[in-house]
Amino acid sequence: MKFLETPIAGVKVVEPQVFGDSRGFFMETWQREKFAAAGLDVAWDQDNHSRSARGVLRGLHYQTPNPQGKLARVVAGAVYDVVVDIRRSSPSFGKWFGVELSADNYRMLWAPPGVAHGFLVISETADFLYKCSGLWAPADEKAIRWDDPQLAIDWPLAPGQQPSQSAKDQAAVFLADADLFP
């Protein structure tokens, strides 16, 4: 298993070793010792699974004061997965990082507590799975606008294309108005 650094402190792209043959494939998606050796000694509290259609954008979500870390992967289809550093004390505060996660590339993304997270479905549909450290706390849910000009995220959308979003995500705030981490 490879743990690749990103420009955002603490965010990692995880590339599992995939063993395939004529019967299919096998891969380890999490193993306590390997993750701990990579600095990700995480206790999991919740697993989630979402299915979304092409053009759906979920995010940019986070929780405060009870943050969650997320280990995300796609088991069908493909997404463009994005994290934004919203820790004021971080050298990468206000920066974003994006990576394609797909059933074909097997990559996973570790989004630690203190970052906002979202994804855009770039295939016909996508099944998105993520493990969470910390439980979902509806009263702590927050969201930052996907199109915040301060962030200038380069989403893979056609010119003028608007993503499909929930009402909650449409009501998200700009980074300048968000409840951030120290």
Backbone angles phi and psi of 67, in degrees to 5: -70, 160
Q: Which residue in the list 62, 80, 106, 130 is annotated as catalytic? A: 130
Return d(Cα 120, Cα 90) in angstroms, integer.
25
- If we measure between CA atoms, which residue out of 117, 136, 125, 155 comes closest to residue 46? 136
Exposed / middle / buried, residue 15 (Cβ in 10 Å: 0-12, 13-18, 19+) = middle
| H or E stretch covering 117 | strand 115-121
Active site residue 80: no
How far apart, in whole angstroms, are the C-alpha atoms of residue 6 and residue 13? 7
Query: Which of the following is catalytic: 61, 62, 80, 106?
Result: 61
Element (H, E) at 37: helix 32-37
Identify whether 130 is a catalytic site residue: yes
Active site residues: 61, 130
